[in-house]
A and B are shown apart, each in its own frame.
Chain A
């Protein structure tokens, strides 16, 4: 079974600074997807960024980028120029065969 580990239960960052959230996973599959979801206080799950395992190039979405290290099974999220609206719980997720496995989450606080 796949497992996803987020070793940072809580993180904080100063507004306008950069923060990196860590995620590692375990799998024996070669074809899969990785996601970062954001859950703000409203608790609506919002997709932040996705990465296909077969792509070597790291995904980017505006201020959000990932560092995908397939051999190390690592998938970290970097948030640049942090904004107050980025404060939320962030979940790393592994996807394969239309199933998702979530990490335990990282609560991000943005300090003004």
Chain B
């Protein structure tokens, strides 16, 4: 099966600093990747769709300047949480869909962000 790797799995940062989360497709090329946020015991909320070589598409209510997305290659997308605050603490998950899998998504391991 397709493999999506996300790094780091856990990160603690100080309020006001920025944090970068990486999402890699290890055995396939992904022109599109997806970033989700998940609060405890809740569902996955789509934040943005990352498009290789172009701007990301953000969902309504998601701050573009706070959550910077870069998809510079066919196997890597990054999410940078800028000027992080405690309310940004959450679980972030990325996913990608291999070209031959229609809508079947494969997920990274997730990143638990804690802002102190």
> Measuring CB to CB, which residues of chain A are less than 8 angstroms from any residue of chain B?
32-33, 35, 42-45, 47, 50, 89, 91, 95-100, 102-105, 107
Establish whether residues A99 and B103, one from each chain, have CB atoms under 8 Å apart when the complex forms. Answer: yes
Q: Name the contact of A100 in the complex, choosing from B38, B91, B103 (C-beta under 8 A).
A: B103
Establish whether residues B95 and A45, one from each chain, have CB atoms under 8 Å apart when the complex forms. Answer: yes
List residues 24-48 of chain B with CB under 8 A from any CB of chain A: 32, 34, 38, 41-44, 46
Establish whether residues B42 and A104, one from each chain, have CB atoms under 8 Å apart when the complex forms. Answer: yes
List residues 70-116 of chain B with CB under 8 A from any CB of chain A: 91, 93, 95, 97, 102-107, 109-110
Interface residues of A, dominant DSSP: strand
Establish whether residues A44 and B97, one from each chain, have CB atoms under 8 Å apart when the complex forms. Answer: no
Say yes or no: A44-B42 contact (C-beta < 8 A), given A33-B103, A95-B103, A99-B103: no
Establish whether residues B43 and A98, one from each chain, have CB atoms under 8 Å apart when the complex forms. Answer: no
